[in-house]
């Protein structure tokens, strides 16, 4: 037990010795970097071309696609910067505890090295799932707003899922029609459903209007056979109806005022999942592009973040136990935030974890760094709000 405790605290030379962060530039690394960068851009451009062509849209001018390409590069630039900032946090502890080389330092025992690498991997995975979703969501907003005919609906759904959609649609329609019995809707059903989504209050028009919308969606899908065959002019309206119905069903299943049975809730839930499969999707090429941007960003800008986490938070370098504890806390916190849809920062979580281990270890904190971190966290929100608002006003007036 004493040996384990001593190992977790780390030998004196391991604490005092800084990892070697500087290494001569390797031409092969530069070639690989720019090769991945070029391959990612080409893959992205080719994928957009294929998707737009498959949608049947006939471009009359290439200006919107040029703007789309620029917007995608900006969105991926966000992920690139995110890579050399947030993702670099994940590798800081393994570098400063000599578990892995900065580009191999004296390693700790294999089981500690494995623990640290595993927790580092956990942070990277949780960060990719949390922050990566933000980048992918931003890209999907750009795609849907710019090329709705290609990305408003999931045209790649297999035939088996289309059949599941029809079955779930029929079952949901039956449930809602029973609740709407004795009531009729005249005119456009969307306002009544939108009113329920905004107020979460069931009235006499909720179920009849929802019933009409479900039937309209089923009619469109049945008429064209699949989402891929829905005409470009109708795609936007179909997506809006699907999204509205999905949100209405989500609130209905939570509403304590409804009298839905477990079987009825199950049928509505299956239908909602079918709607979400059609509207809430991310093409494979978007996931690949974001992953490449995150990885390349980490390759370029990891050093400053690693030095801050490893040297400038505590007064001594991290031990193996401190690194593992900080990583476990970071991975668990980010994964929980991802599960509950909470926007958190990997930098905030891991830096706080490292500071906690330094305080618990009695080694002390560098308060100047802690102060700067706190100021950055406080000022980031208002500064980002003002800058984005200014850019929006500028672009609206220019374009």
pLDDT tens digit string along 130-173? 666 778 888 888 888 888 878 888 888 887 788 888 899 999 98
Residue 184: pLDDT above 50? yes
Determine how many CB atoms are found less than 10 A away from the CB of residue 278.
24
> Which segments of the chain does DSSP mark as H helices, in order?
2-9, 12-16, 27-55, 63-82, 88-96, 110-146, 148-151, 159-179, 190-199, 206-224, 232-254, 262-279, 284-307, 320-339, 346-361, 367-398
Q: pLDDT tens for residues 267-322?
A: 999 999 999 998 888 898 898 888 888 878 777 777 777 777 777 888 877 777 78
Query: Which candidate, 239, 256, 245, places its Cα nearest to that of 197?
Result: 245
Q: pLDDT tens for residues 98-108?
A: 555 544 444 56
Does residue 257 contact residue 202 with C-beta atoms inside 8 Å? yes
Query: Which candidate, 66, 89, 90, 243, places its Cα nearest to that of 152?
Result: 243
Answer with the residue of higher pLDDT: 96 or 398: 398
Does residue 6 contact residue 14 with C-beta atoms inside 8 Å? no
Answer with the residue of higher pLDDT: 212 or 343: 212
Residue 10: pLDDT above 50? no
Residue with tokens 């580092």: 120
Residue 390: pLDDT above 90? yes
Residue 386: pLDDT above 90? yes
d(CA 233, CA 57): 9
Long-range contacts of 125-128 (CB under 8 A, 24+ apart): 125/331, 126/330, 126/331, 126/334, 126/335, 126/338, 127/86, 127/87, 127/89, 127/90, 127/334, 127/346, 128/87, 128/291, 128/294
Which pLDDT does position 247 carry in this prediction? 92
Average pLDDT of the segment spanning 86-114: 60
Region at 11 (left for phi over 0; alpha for psi -120 to 50; beta for the rest): beta
Query: Which candidate, 151, 73, 136, places its Cα nearest to that of 290?
Result: 136
d(CA 324, CA 8): 9
Residue with tokens 């059609």: 278
Classify the C-alpha dihedral 340-343-347-353 as positive or negative: negative
Give the pLDDT band (50/70/90) at residue 383: very high
d(CA 10, CA 4): 10
Assessment of whether the complete model's pTM goes beyond 0.85: no
Query: Which candidate, 122, 91, 94, places its Cα nearest to that of 108?
Result: 94
Please state the φ and ψ torsions of residue 365, each to the nearest 5 degrees: -115, 150
Ranges 87-91, 132-136, 345-349: which has the least confidence: 87-91
Residue count of the chain: 399
Which pLDDT does position 5 carry in this prediction? 47
Residues 6 or more apart from 112 whose CB is under 8 A from it?
7, 8, 97, 99, 320, 324
d(CA 17, CA 106): 10
Q: pLDDT tens for residues 199-258?
A: 888 888 888 888 889 988 888 888 887 787 777 777 878 888 999 999 999 998 888 777
Query: Which candidate, 132, 151, 131, 149, places its Cα nearest to that of 141?
Result: 151
The pair of three-digit structure tokens given for residue 361, joined into one six-digit string: 């270890």
Determine how many CB atoms are found less than 10 A away from the CB of residue 10.
21
């Amino acid at each position: 037990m004493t040996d384990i405790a001593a190992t977790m605290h780390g030998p004196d030379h391991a604490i005092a010795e800084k990892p070697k962060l500087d290494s001569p530039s390797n031409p092969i690394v530069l070639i690989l970097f720019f090769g991945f960068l070029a391959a990612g851009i080409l893959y992205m451009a080719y994928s957009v071309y294929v998707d737009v062509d498959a949608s049947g849209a006939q471009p009359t001018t290439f200006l919107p696609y040029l703007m789309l390409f620029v917007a995608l590069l900006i969105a991926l630039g966000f992920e690139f910067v995110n890579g050399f900032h947030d993702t670099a946090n994940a590798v800081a502890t393994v570098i400063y505890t000599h578990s892995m080389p900065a580009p191999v330092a004296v390693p700790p025992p294999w089981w500690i090295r494995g623990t640290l690498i595993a927790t580092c991997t956990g942070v990277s995975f949780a960060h990719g799932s949390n922050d990566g979703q933000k980048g992918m969501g931003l890209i999907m907003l750009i795609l849907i707003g710019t090329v709705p005919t290609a990305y408003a609906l999931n045209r790649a759904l297999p035939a088996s899922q289309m059949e599941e959609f029809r079955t779930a649609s029929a079952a949901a329609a039956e449930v809602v029609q029973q609740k709407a019995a004795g009531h009729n809707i005249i005119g456009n059903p969307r306002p009544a459903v939108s009113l329920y989504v905004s107020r979460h209050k069931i009235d006499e028009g909720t179920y009849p209007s929802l019933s009409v919308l479900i039937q309209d969606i089923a009619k469109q899908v049945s008429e064209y056979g699949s989402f891929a065959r829905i005409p470009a002019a109708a795609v936007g309206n179909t997506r809006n109806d699907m999204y509205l119905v999905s949100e209405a069903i989500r609130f209905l299943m939570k509403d304590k005022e409804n009298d839905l049975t477990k079987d009825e809730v199950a049928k509505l839930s299956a239908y909602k999942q079918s709607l979400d499969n059609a509207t809430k999707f991310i093409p494979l090429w978007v996931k690949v592009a974001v992953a490449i941007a995150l990885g390349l960003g980490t390759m370029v800008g990891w050093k400053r973040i690693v030095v801050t986490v490893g040297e400038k938070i505590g007064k001594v370098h991290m031990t193996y136990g401190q690194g593992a504890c900080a990583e476990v806390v970071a991975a668990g916190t980010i994964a929980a935030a991802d599960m509950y849809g909470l926007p958190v920062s990997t930098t905030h979580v891991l830096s706080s974890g490292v500071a906690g281990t330094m305080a618990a270890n009695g080694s002390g904190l560098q308060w100047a760094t802690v102060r700067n971190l706190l100021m950055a966290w406080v000022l980031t929100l208002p500064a980002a709000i003002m800058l984005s608002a200014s850019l929006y006003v500028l672009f609206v007036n220019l374009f």
